[in-house]
Amino acid sequence: MKLSLISFTAIFTVSLLISPLSAKEYKDARVYKWVDKDGVVHYSDKPNPQIESSEIKVQANSNNFDSTGAEKWQEDYNKNKEVNKEAQDKLAVQNAKKKELCNGFKSDLNTLKNIGRIVNVDADGKQTYISEEDRTEKIQALEKNIKKMCK
């Protein structure tokens, strides 16, 4: 019997805390508390006529949830998520272009280092060979660009 009274007391207390009463109903509500001969605490909306009961002051919960703040947060979150996705997509395109450029540098460097004589052909079809000095300068420039851009 004692366990069921404790359970009832706990359930009653919790229901008081979470019941959806308005502030006016809280203001008008009266809750009484008393302890029986076995030391069990009881709560009721009526005082116990057999045992001295004390009235408990019930206060309205001022922690009201404002859903407009949550909606604004969700809206901002979705907007930031979209902006971040666009930035990631842009970065992915830039990285792809950079990789393509680096591959071109590496290919040109390989050609300059491993092919005998390099021939340039102008718009008229005239062929000219690059000098060893030009070849060395181009190799150094490509190595510098690779070191700078292809990390």
Q: Are residues 99 and 151 in the same domain?
A: yes
Given pLDDT bands bounded at 50, 70 and 90, which one contains residue 12? Answer: low
Give me the domain span that covers residue 28.
2-56
The reply to whether 100 falls in a domain is yes
The reply to whether 46 falls in a domain is yes
| pTM assigned to the model | 0.46
Q: What is the pLDDT of residues 114-151, one digit of tens each?
A: 987 888 888 898 998 888 898 999 999 999 999 998 87
Phi, psi torsion values for 33, nearest 5 degrees: -130, 140
Mean of all residue pLDDT scores within the chain: 82
Is the CB of residue 25 less than 8 Å from the CB of residue 19?
A: no
The reply to whether 74 falls in a domain is no
Q: What is the mean pLDDT of residues 16-25?
A: 52
Which pLDDT value is given to residue 59? Answer: 74
Q: What is the pLDDT of residues 104-121, one digit of tens each?
A: 999 999 988 898 788 888
Which pLDDT value is given to residue 77? Answer: 93
The reply to whether 120 falls in a domain is yes
For the chain, what is the domain count? 2
CA-based radius of gyration for the chain = 41
14-27 burial code (b ≥16 CB/10 A, e <16): eebeeeeeeeeeee
Is the CB of residue 54 less than 8 Å from the CB of residue 34?
A: yes
Which pLDDT value is given to residue 18? Answer: 55
Q: What is the pLDDT of residues 31-76, one digit of tens each?
A: 888 888 888 988 888 888 888 888 888 777 667 666 777 888 899 9
Among the listed ranges 14-28, 76-90, 98-112, which one has the minimum average pLDDT value? Answer: 14-28
Which pLDDT value is given to residue 6? Answer: 58
Nearest Cα to Cα of residue 59 among 26, 105, 13? 26
DSSP 8-state class, residue 111: H
The reply to whether 140 falls in a domain is yes
- Rounded Cα distance between 15 and 62, Å, is 17
- Please check the confidence at residue 13 and state whether its pLDDT lies above 80: no
> 143 Cβ partners below 8 Å, 6+ apart?
109
The reply to whether 103 falls in a domain is yes
The reply to whether 81 falls in a domain is no
The reply to whether 79 falls in a domain is no
Which pLDDT value is given to residue 143? Answer: 93
Which pLDDT value is given to residue 29? Answer: 74
